């Protein structure tokens, strides 16, 4: 299996596993105030982290201590400050450990059986639910409207992962397209994972659906587009070029004096892992698709150099993978490669970049800020809270707002399978769903 993955990805995988275990320990320690049995749970998670740490050190890396607090914050937001606050919260903590065992376990230098045994011990104390609670009631989400910083020159839309080929995806995407057509947007950028399995049938359907947009649109590739699960081949790049008219090596587009740097961050590398189900804690049937980490190729670094050049017009950057530091799940591994994130940060230091927009995570949040430049993760049409984003551009900056689909019946139908954890994961804070950005100076 190790021949299938580059050594730096294996290192990131082990780093990620260590962060998860240290963060689980932090949550258990907080829960101990409400139930003393979680003191032992914290000790077990710390023991697992210490075993994983040996494999990090053998790769000449040091553990990423700075990730513990923010990743624990991410977990805590989902499972609550008390063990009884959120349905399935305690089970979700176990499933995170299952993910570590399934993904990092095969690549540890030693201690694989020991961490598995510790996890089984933890499971023996966890009450597994006998039934699934009903979804919380669907409540339509109002759009937060903020005054743009000046007269609006134009509006553009952002359509994150459409996942055409998965349940509900086509209907939800068509609803988003209809909304965008009525929004006054002059162009739209789609953020990758256009398809769900990267096969030709899905590319055909996706091209048909997106062709219903009544304005110019730009697309990029996501990891789901790279790899066909059915044909077991990395054919997505060829299919993307066939149906979307360009090689997926990034593009630089200009509209009314603003540049749009669209980067293709999906990596042409097959994952040895099948998809993982965080509900059951097991791998699903089928092949694993492409690796989830993002990278930028040489042509895309050339695009970044172009927009960073002195005197270059203002630019927005779009890509599938959020940049580092990525504190969601799995930490580090699910984001853009460290070196490419560093380059993106340096480009933002030029003063020419106004914002970075990423997909991949299906949630509303601000990943990080490079100086005053926000890196924004945009929630998707198919999954709660079901929608897209609009950006009003002015001479002084822009206003950003995330918008739920206007077809509330469709949203309510999709909401029937949504749990409280989904709510906590995808919605985002109000200031992450709408904000105003002004250029400095």
Question: Which backbone phi and psi does 336 adopt, to 5 degrees?
Answer: -75, 145
Q: For residues 188-198, give the mean pLDDT.
A: 96
Q: So what's the architecture of 154-438 in CATH?
A: 4-Layer Sandwich (3.60)
Is the C-alpha dihedral spanning 273, 360, 9, 331 positive or negative? negative
User: Does residue 409 register a pLDDT over 60?
Assistant: yes
On the question of pLDDT at 3 being above 60, the answer is no
292 vs 383, higher pLDDT: 383
- Residue closest to 289 by CA, chosen among 334, 222, 226: 226
Residues in the chain: 441
Q: What is the pLDDT of residues 364-373, one digit of tens each?
A: 999 999 999 9
Q: What are the backbone angles phi and psi of residue 287, rounded to the nearest 5°?
A: -85, 170
Share of the chain above pLDDT 90, in %: 84
Q: Above 90 in pLDDT, residue 6?
A: no
Q: How far apart are the first and last CA of the chain?
A: 52
Interstrand relation of 373-377 and 365-370 (parallel, antiparallel or unpaired): antiparallel
Average pLDDT of the chain? 94
Q: Give CA torsion, residues 272, 278, 281, 286, to 10 deg.
A: -40
Q: Does domain 2-123 have CATH number 1.20.1260?
A: yes
Residue 1 pLDDT level (bands cut at 50, 70, 90):
very low
- Asked whether residue 269 carries a pLDDT value surpassing 90, the answer given is no
Q: What is the pLDDT of residues 165-186, one digit of tens each?
A: 999 999 999 999 999 999 999 9
Domain with CATH 3.60.21.10 in the chain: 154-438
The larger pLDDT score, comparing residue 414 to residue 132, is at 414
Per-residue pLDDT for 2 more than 50? no
pLDDT at 233: 63
5 pLDDT more than 90: no
Residue 440 neighbours by CB distance under 10 Å: 7
**273 band by pLDDT with thresholds 50, 70 and 90:** confident
pLDDT at res. 231:
54
Q: What was the pLDDT predicted at 421?
A: 93
Identify the sign of the CA torsion 310, 316, 319, 321: positive
Q: How confident is the model at residue 287 (pLDDT cuts 50, 70, 90)?
A: low
Measure the CA–CA gap between 316 and 376, rounded to whole angstroms.
11
**329 φ, ψ to 5°?**
-125, 135
Pick from 77-91, 152-166, 216-230, 281-295 the range whose average pLDDT is largest. Answer: 152-166
pLDDT, tens digit, 9 for 90 and up, residues 50-101: 999 999 999 999 999 999 999 999 999 999 999 999 988 999 999 999 999 9
Q: Is the pLDDT of residue 228 over 70?
A: no
Q: Give me the mean pLDDT over the 176-198 stretch.
A: 98
- Report residue 363's pLDDT band, with 50, 70 and 90 as the boundaries: very high
> Is a pLDDT exceeding 90 seen at residue 130?
no
| CA quadruple 312, 315, 319, 325: dihedral sign | positive
Ranges of CATH 1.20.1260 domains, the chain: 2-123
Predicted model pTM: 0.95
The Cα 81–Cα 363 span in angstroms is 21
| pLDDT tens by residue, 386-408 | 999 999 999 999 999 999 999 99
In SS3 terms, the chain reads as: CHHHCCHHHHHHHHHHHHHHHHHHHHHHHHHCCCCCCHHHHHHHHHHHHHHHHHHHHHCCCCCCHHHHHHHHHHHHHHHCCCCCCCCCHHHHHHHHHHHHHHHCHHHCCCCHHHHHHHHHHHHCCCCCCCCCCCCCCCCCCCCCCCCCCCCCCEEEEEECCCCECECCHHHHHHHHHHHHHCCCCCEEEECCCCECCCCHHHHHHHHHHHCCCCCCEECCCCHHHHCECCCCECCHHHHHHHHHCCCCCCEEEEECCEEEEECCCECCCECCCCCEECCCCEECCCCCCECCCECCCHHHHHHHHHHHCCCCCCEEEEECCCCCCCCCCCCCCCCECHHHHHHHHHHHCCCCEEEEEECCCCCCEEEEEECCEEEEECCCCCCCCCEEEEEEECCCEEEEEEEECCCHHHHHHHHHHCCHHHHHHHCCCHHHHEEEEECCC
Angstrom distance (rounded) from CA 74 to CA 26: 12
Q: Give the span between the Cα atoms of 107 and 126, in whole angstroms.
A: 27
Distance CA 196, CA 385 (A): 19
Which of 84-88, 270-274, 279-283 is the least confident region? 270-274
- Percent of all residues in the chain with a pLDDT value above 70, rounded to a whole number: 97
């Amino acid at each position: 299996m190790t021949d299938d993955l580059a050594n730096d990805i294996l290192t990131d995988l082990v780093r990620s596993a260590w962060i998860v275990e240290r963060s689980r320990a932090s949550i258990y320690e907080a829960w101990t105030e409400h139930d003393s049995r979680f003191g032992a749970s914290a000790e077990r998670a710390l023991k697992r982290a210490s075993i994983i740490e040996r494999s990090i050190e053998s790769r000449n890396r040091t553990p990423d201590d700075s990730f513990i607090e923010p990743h624990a914050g991410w977990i805590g937001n989902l499972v609550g400050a008390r063990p009884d606050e959120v349905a399935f919260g305690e089970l979700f903590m176990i499933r995170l450990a299952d993910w570590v065992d399934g993904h990092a376990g095969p690549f540890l230098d030693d201690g694989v059986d020991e961490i598995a045994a510790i996890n089984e011990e933890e499971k023996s104390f966890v009450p597994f639910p006998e039934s699934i609670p009903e979804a919380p009631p669907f409540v339509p989400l109002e759009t937060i409207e903020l005054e743009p910083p000046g007269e609006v020159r134009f509006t553009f839309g952002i359509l994150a992962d459409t996942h055409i080929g998965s349940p509900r995806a086509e209907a939800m995407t068509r609803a988003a397209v209809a909304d965008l057509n009525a929004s006054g947007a002059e162009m739209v950028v789609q953020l990758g994972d256009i398809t769900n399995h990267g096969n030709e049938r899905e590319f055909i359907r996706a091209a048909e659906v997106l062709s219903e947009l009544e304005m110019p649109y730009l697309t990029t590739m996501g990891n789901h587009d790279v790899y066909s699960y059915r044909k077991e081949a990395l054919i997505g790049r060829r299919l993307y070029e066939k149906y979307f008219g360009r090689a997926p090596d990034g593009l630089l587009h200009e509209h009314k004096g603003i540049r749009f740097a669209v980067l293709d961050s999906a990596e042409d590398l097959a994952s040895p892992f099948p998809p993982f189900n965080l509900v059951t804690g097991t791998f699903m049937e089928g092949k694993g698709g492409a690796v989830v980490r993002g990278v930028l190729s040489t042509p895309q670094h050339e695009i970044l150099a172009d927009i960073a050049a002195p005197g270059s017009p203002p630019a927005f950057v779009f890509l599938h993978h959020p940049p580092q530091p990525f504190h969601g799940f799995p930490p580090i591994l699910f984001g853009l490669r460290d070196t490419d994130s560093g380059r993106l940060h340096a480009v933002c230091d030029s003063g020419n970049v106004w914002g970075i927009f990423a997909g991949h995570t299906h949630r509303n949040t601000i990943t990080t800020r490079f100086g005053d430049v926000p890196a924004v993760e945009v929630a998707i049409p198919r999954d709660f809270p079901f929608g897209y984003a609009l950006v009003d551009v002015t001479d002084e900056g822009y206003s950003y707002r995330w918008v739920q689909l206007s077809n509330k019946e469709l949203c309510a139908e999709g909401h029937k399978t949504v749990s409280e954890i989904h709510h906590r994961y995808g919605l985002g804070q109000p200031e992450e769903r709408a904000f105003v950005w002004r250029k400095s100076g």
